């Protein structure tokens, strides 16, 4: 999935406050998109919402 300007990107709460660890997230109806805020020209990484939920559940376990 390519980076699209209409996505509402927000910085992860786990990103560093110094601007060095910047992961941004955008949520759509179909997917959760992730990108490096220091390189927004690259395509984002996208995963379907169901798979994202499984991944987060695995991390919490």
* Domain coordinates in residue numbering, the chain: 10-60
* Continuous H helices in 1-61: 49-60
Residues 20-26 have a mean pLDDT of 82
- 54 against 14, higher pLDDT: 54
- 21 against 5, higher pLDDT: 21
How distant is the alpha carbon of residue 26 from its chain centre? Answer: 6
Helix (H) or strand (E) holding 33: strand 31-36
Determine the pLDDT at residue 5: 52
Residues 4-15 have a mean pLDDT of 76
Against a cut of 0.75, is the pTM above it?
no
DSSP one-letter code for 61: -
pLDDT digits (tens, 9 = 90+) for 41-54: 888 999 999 999 99
């Amino acid at each position: 999935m390519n980076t699209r300007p209409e996505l509402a990107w927000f910085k992860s709460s786990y990103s560093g406050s110094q601007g060095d660890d910047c992961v941004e997230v955008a949520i759509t109806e179909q997917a959760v998109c992730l990108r490096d805020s220091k390189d927004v020209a690259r395509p984002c990484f996208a995963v379907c919402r169901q798979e994202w939920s499984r991944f987060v559940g695995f991390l919490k376990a």
